[in-house]
Amino acid sequence: MAKQEDRTRAIIASHYEQNDPIGWFETLYSTANGDTSLIPWADQKPNHNLTSWLDRERVNGAGRSCVVVGCGLGDDAEELARRGFAVSAFDVAQSAVDWCRKRFPKSNVTYAQADLFAFKGAFDFVFESYTIQALPRSLRERAIAAVAGLVNPRGGDLLLICRGREDNEDEGTLPWPLTHAEAAMFESTHGMRRVSFENFFDDERDPPVRRFRALFRKD
């Protein structure tokens, strides 16, 4: 684990020194050479904070379009497709997208390499998990706007799962947790209605990590 973290930090630092705060994603995936242990968030299973929500809410995606932001190695996209959604998934790293296609050669998911700020669409369900928090804070407002812009304006849902922090908590290092005010921007700035908001500690991490899980809706 320590070697994995050291490798990731070195890659990120190198790109930041080159004023390229996004390019490290591609480098991380491409230099892993298929070794999932070198990708910090690659659990090779769907996000448990997603699956527990889907189970609790008894979500059936039949007849609904869905997009997964920053799809990584594709486990969340595949889970949403399994539950009936017509899923599109994109990642800024071409190597991640190629990896997804190799892992799931018979997938019904449409995978694409794309930048969050360039990807367009209007989806019934948008899933954003851990992407915004990994971007430079100078891009955070733009990233929130871009994610909100993927929701079908005629009616759609956005599920946000992220690291969160209280006002009195230190922001720490990358990935930088979202504040309550930042999470609320989907409602206050982008005209969505907050349906639910959960502030909890994810006990599957050691030490436990504070998470926000929020559902926003365009009516």
Mean pLDDT by 10 residues, the chain (219 residues): 82 96 97 95 96 98 98 98 98 98 98 97 98 95 98 98 94 94 97 98 92 97
* Host H or E run for residue 165: strand 156-165
- Predicted TM-score (pTM) of this structure: 0.96
What pLDDT does 39 receive? 95
Distance CA 34, CA 13 (A): 22
What lies within 8 Å, CB to CB, of 182 at 6+ separation is: 140, 144
Q: Are strands 110-113 and 125-129 parallel, antiparallel or unpaired?
A: unpaired
What pLDDT does 117 receive? 97
- 1-20: buried (b, 16+ CB within 10 Å) or exposed (e) per residue? eeeeeeebeebbeebeeeee
What pLDDT does 3 receive? 73
The architecture of the domain spanning 43-218 is 3-Layer(aba) Sandwich (3.40)
Distances (CA, A) of 213 to 94, 163, 171, 198, 216: 28, 9, 18, 5, 10
